[in-house]
Structure 1
Amino acid sequence: MSSSNSVEGSYSKRCAACKHLRRRCAEDCVLAPYFPATHPERFECVHKIFGAGNVARMLKAIPVQERAQAADSLSAEAYWRVQDPVYGSTGIVIQTNQEISSTQCELAKIRAQISMYEAQMATEQQPPPPGLPQQQGSLGSQENMPMFEPNDPFNFLN
């Protein structure tokens, strides 16, 4: 019974990589610290895009203190590559830049409208300059309007 417990114990301690590859997880498994069994989907994306052997080689080639950051980077790139096989994470950057550009254009239009409304409000609130006669109505006084004679050859109203 003790041998079955040790097998069960080593089985439950396997990392996501070793579980996915159906192999025993060695004590010095380079993938174990970065791909725990609690997050198998993280390794599945990385394995699908880069391959387990390539990831293990990459992690072994860099200093231990930088491996966690490298594993996170590989995981993020693999996730976005699975989501968008053509552009990967670059697609997110392109989309975000387009949204920023669109928002900046919209902001510029709104600022122009605000300044136009502010200028309009400023002119409406200003009193007319002194010395100018104020008009009575929109057409002015009718006393100055020319009258047409009925037999006038230039009268087009007839």
Structure 2
Amino acid sequence: MASSSTSSSNSPCAACKFLRRKCMPGCIFAPYFPPEEPQKFANVHKIFGASNVTKLLNELLPHQREDAVNSLAYEAEARVKDPVYGCVGAISVLQRQVQRLQKELDAANADLLRYACSEIPTGLPVPPSLVSPMGTYQRIEYGRRVGNGGNSFYQPSGMPVPYPPPWTTNNLTGDANNPSGDVDQREGGESSM
């Protein structure tokens, strides 16, 4: 058992093993490419080359090297998965997803605001002149045809119309002899005009 622990502590780092060289005690790769992660160095070597990585790590301060190796490993893995775009492709996909989700959130907030504003009671009665002469079904159909395009939620006001529309026959006078429904017509057939 002691020999297995000795051999694991003396095993070369993933970089030296990949390059088939002896791992020296001051190996610059050893702290960042452990023997348990051989694919990490294989990707970095394939994309950047061992000599370039060695030069880069030697130019950096020791406390910066780990971040640099992690960045190189991430970029190399992304480039292996997507040779054309690499990590830029992944970033673009995520940015488009964020933009799409932001638009959905904005639309949901706008719908919520519209709904909240329609629920706020004003405490004032609606003047009859402002009440729509259309029935509920007609308001819904009008909302589908005009303005909403059938894509957004249409909520009718729900206010009942206190009188029938003026353009229906005989609504105002209820007089069968007066088909025009003229309110100003006086007895005897005279008109006030």
TM class, shorter-length: 0.7 to 0.9
Correspondences of 1:33-48 after superposition (within 5 Å): 33-48=31-46
Partner AA of 1:27 in structure 2 = P
Identity of aligned residues (%): 36
TM-score, normalised by the number of residues in structure 2: 0.60
Provide the C-alpha distance between the structure 2 equivalents of 1:61 and 1:120, rounded to a whole number of angstroms: 64
Match of 2:18 in 1: 20
List gaps (5 residues or longer) in structure 1: 149-158
Provide the C-alpha distance between the structure 2 equivalents of 1:58 and 1:135, rounded to a whole number of angstroms: 79
Partner AA of 1:71 in structure 2 = V
RMSD, aligned α-carbons: 3.1
Match of 1:98 in 2: 96
Provide the C-alpha distance between the structure 2 equivalents of 1:21 and 1:43, rounded to a whole number of angstroms: 10
Match of 2:189 in 1: none
CA offset digits 1:39-92 (Å, max 9, x no partner): 111111101101112111211122222211211111111111112212211122
| Contact residue 30 and residue 59 of structure 1 kept, 8 A | yes
Correspondences of 1:1-158 after superposition (within 5 Å): 9=7, 12-122=10-120, 127-129=125-127, 136-139=162-165, 142-144=171-173, 146-147=178-179
Deviation (angstroms), 1:14: 0.3
Q: CA, structure 1 residues 58+51, in 2 after alignment: closer, same or farther (shift >3 Å)?
A: same
Deviation (angstroms), 1:143: 4.5
TM-score, normalised by the number of residues in structure 1: 0.72
Higher helix share: 1
| Contact residue 59 and residue 67 of structure 1 kept, 8 A | yes
Deviation (angstroms), 1:122: 3.6
Deviation (angstroms), 1:125: 8.0
Deviation (angstroms), 1:33: 1.0
Provide the C-alpha distance between the structure 2 equivalents of 1:74 and 1:30, rounded to a whole number of angstroms: 15
Aligned length: 140
